[in-house]
Amino acid sequence: MGCISSKWIEFYGLEVTGYSPVLLSVGRNIGEGWDRTAEDLKQEQDTIEDTARRLCWKKVAEHDDLAIWQKPINHLECVKMKKAHETPVICKSKDPDSAWYRDLEDCITPLPDVTSANDVAGGELLKWPDRAFAVPPRLSRSLVPGINVDRFLEDNELWKQRITHYNRLVTPLRSGRYRNIMDMNAYIGGFAAAMLRYPVWVMNVVLSNSNPDTLGIIYERGLIGTYQDWCEGFSTYPRTYDLIHASGVFTIYQDRCDITSILLEMDRILRPEGSVIFRDTVELLVKIKSITDGMRWKSQIMDHESGPFNPEKILVAVKTYWTGEAINKQP
C-alpha cells in the first residue's frame, strides 16, 4: 500500500507512472487534498483520475477529498485498453526486476502474463504471517535460477537453528532491547523470517551484483528489503540500527574495496551499545576484530552453531558508548 498526494500532479507524467511498479497487485494508493479552492481541487482531481486510469488503477473508495485507488491483479484489461486507445505505454524492459541505478521510465512495468481475468499476476500470496514461511510464487514456478522449493525449505530450517544459537549469544535480543535490525546479505530472507519470533523488524539487503537477484523473493514473503553495494555508503541516518547481521559479507567484498571502510559505515549506522553478528572464516574474523578493537568495539569470536570443527565462525561485537576527551585550551 502506498500514499501519494495531489501535489505530485505537477509532475504526474513520470513520477506517478514510475511509482506503479512499487505496488504489488491489489496494492492501494491514497490521494488526499489540501485546503484549496473548489475549482483547483476539481482540476487536480480530474488530472489524478485521468492518470490513474491510464495506469489501469481502479477507484475503490472515495470520501470528501480522500480517494483510494487499487492496482489490478493482472494487466489483461490494460492490454485491451492499450490496443483501443494507444495508452498506457507498456515498458519493454527485458528485466523488470532490475532496479539498481535505473532511470525512471515514462511507462508501466508489465505484470506477469495470465490466462484468465481472475488470475493474480505472479501468483497469489498467503496472509501474514503464514506468507513469510510459505514458498514464494516465483520459486514454486521455478522463475529464480539456482533456487528451488527444497532449497527454500532447507534455508528456513537452517535459520531457525541459527537464530536459536544467536539467542544464546546476544542477550539483548531475547530481552526485547533491540528493535531495528539489518541483514547485510539477506539472500532469500531466511534470517528475517526466523526473527519473527521477536518484536523486531529487519531491513533485508540484497547485494547489487547478486546472481540470482533474490529481492523479489523477499518481498513475496512479506518482508522489506533493498539493494546495496557495500563499497558505497548506505542511505540512512546515523545510529539507525540496533543490530546488524553480516553473513559472508567480507568474503564477498575483501578484494573489492577496503573492509575498514565497510566497518566504518557499519559503525555510522549502528547505535551505541548496539551489536553486530559476523559470520565468516576465522582469518577474516581475526582481521575484522583487529579493526573493530581500534574502533573501541568489544568483540569475541565464537564457535559455529554446529560445533568447533566448522571452519566458519561467529564474531559478536558491541559498539561501546564513548566520547572524546575535552581539550583544554591554553589562555
- Between CA 7 and CA 302 the distance in angstroms is 54
The fold adopted by the segment(s) 2-85 is Translation Initiation Factor IF3 (3.30.110)
pTM of the model: 0.86
**C-alpha span between 9 and 15 (Å, rounded):** 9
**Pick from 25, 44, 24: which is nearest to 34 by CA?**
44
Q: Is 309 helix (H, G, I), strand (E, B) or coil?
A: coil
Instruction: Give the position of cell 549469544.
Output: 169
Order the strands of the 58-63 sheet from edge to edge.
2-3, 28-32, 66-70, 58-63
Return averaged pLDDT per consecutive 10 residues of the chain, 331 residues in all: 53 52 55 68 82 86 84 88 74 85 86 90 94 96 95 97 95 90 98 96 96 96 97 96 98 96 98 97 97 96 93 96 74 61
Pairwise CA distance, residues 264 & 300, whole Å: 19
User: Are the beta carbons of 284 and 313 closer than 8 angstroms?
Assistant: no
In the chain, the amino acid numbered 293 is: D
How many other C-beta atoms lie within 10 A of the C-beta of residue 26?
A: 15
pLDDT at residue number 8:
47
Domain boundaries, the chain: 2-85, 130-319
CATH number for the region 130-319 comes to: 3.40.50.150
Q: For residue 21, what is its C-alpha cell?
A: 511498479
Closest by CA to 121, choosing from 113, 110, 133, is 113
Are 220 and 125 in contact by the 8 Å Cβ rule? The answer is: yes
Q: What are phi and psi of 85, to 5 degrees?
A: -120, 0
pLDDT score recorded for residue 12 = 45
Return the pLDDT at 330.
66
